[in-house]
Amino acid sequence: MKENQKIKLGISIGDINGIGCEVALKTFEDPRMLDFCTPIIFASNKTVSQQKSDLGIEMTFNGVRDASQAVEGKINIVNVWKEVPKIEFGQATQEGGTYAIKSLRAAVSALKDGSIDVLVTAPINKNNIQSDDFKFPGHTDYLAQELNGESLMFMVADTLRVGLLTDHIAVKDVAQAITPSLVRHKIATMEKSLKMDFGIRKPKIALLGINPHSGDNGTIGEEDDKILKPVIKELFNKGTLVYGPYSADSFFGSDNHKNFDAILAAYHDQGLIPFKTLSFGKGVNYTAGLDKVRTSPDHGTAYEIAGKGQADNSSFKEAVFMAIEVFKNRTEYMELSKNPLKKQKTKRAS
């Protein structure tokens, strides 16, 4: 990127019957947002125009055939499809899922070839996206296949950062899925992201226990003693500041989370229930560990309010700002890593 060039921020539109388009348009309805990035929405002029009209949103946009043609200072729409899909707000239709994936595939393709710098994904419905050629439980799993690196689902709100050892799997499968190798890899991915993406030089990580009370010394399951504790000791001895396992039931209520740069939860609800309670609707879902930057709001399609103009775009706006911040942090980190002399000069100058 040239020094003064704005970051090209791609947006996949999500389920056309949900609130994805609404929160994206509301975010860039404020013209000041164009000072931070060049937004590029992957959908079609007609679809966005229809949503804009239905929701009573006043704005202009620039239609392009390809993301490389995007114009700074404007909201750009890449015309991924020419037909006019039927919009049925609040309904989980097959058509809604089909166009969500068309948008996502086009956006990820642009991300891979460098036509956009970062990607913000609007919410999809995990049921109606399924098809013969798309069998993923969500964005994270698809991105992990398409991009390089080892993915980590990372929920972020200011200094509260919660990652997951396991994400979209059934609770009955959690204990079996957690292995020493998985724990090592997830902690390494989290530590690297904290350094590279968030600028934390020596991050402190807390690991939550798998069982209630972290197993109570084997009384309530042996996984914490046999899997988590040995790995924590091993990594700590090698210089990684990882602590635990902590009993999940009291960890957040006691404000212990404020003593750490990030928390690694054993499974989805163990991490996301306290995160969403504490983030007050402004949390961001960040896919760490990949070679490209992707963020998303921490909510779903919200069919119950879709098409009513009631959607709060706070989380989507935070996802935009985080994508920009992470991209800049990562670019600076890579530059300093390539040129250690520059790093030394910077330190001396300061």
Residues 16-46: pLDDT tens digits? Answer: 999 999 999 999 999 999 999 999 999 999 9
CATH of the domain at 130: 3.40.718.10
Q: Report the mean per-residue pLDDT for the chain.
A: 93
SS3 state at 112: helix
Round to whole Å and give the CA distance between 101 and 50.
Answer: 19
Taking 70 as the threshold, does the pLDDT of residue 350 lie above it?
no
Q: 37 and 143 share a domain?
A: yes
Same domain (yes/no): 67, 206? no
Query: Is the confidence at residue 1, as pLDDT, over 90?
Result: no
Residue 214 and residue 233 share a domain: yes
In this prediction, residues 50-69 reach a mean pLDDT of 94
Q: What is the DSSP string of 149-189?
A: EEEEEEEEETTEEEEESS-SS-GGGHHHH--HHHHHHHHHH
Examine the domain organization and report whether 119 and 212 are in the same domain.
no
Write out the residue range of the structural domain in which residue 23 sits: 1-148+293-298
Q: At 343, is the pLDDT very low, low, confident or very high (cuts 50, 70, 90)?
A: low
Number of domains comprising the chain: 2
Considering the domain boundaries, does residue 3 fall inside one? yes
* DSSP for residue 39: E
Same domain (yes/no): 162, 284: yes
| Residues 284 and 157 occupy one common structural domain | yes
Same domain assignment for residues 117 and 175: no
Q: Are residues 170 and 119 in the same domain?
A: no
Residues 16 and 141 in one domain: yes
Indicate whether 12 and 133 sit together in one domain: yes
> For residue 12, is pLDDT > 60?
yes
- The answer on 244 and 161 residing in a single domain is yes
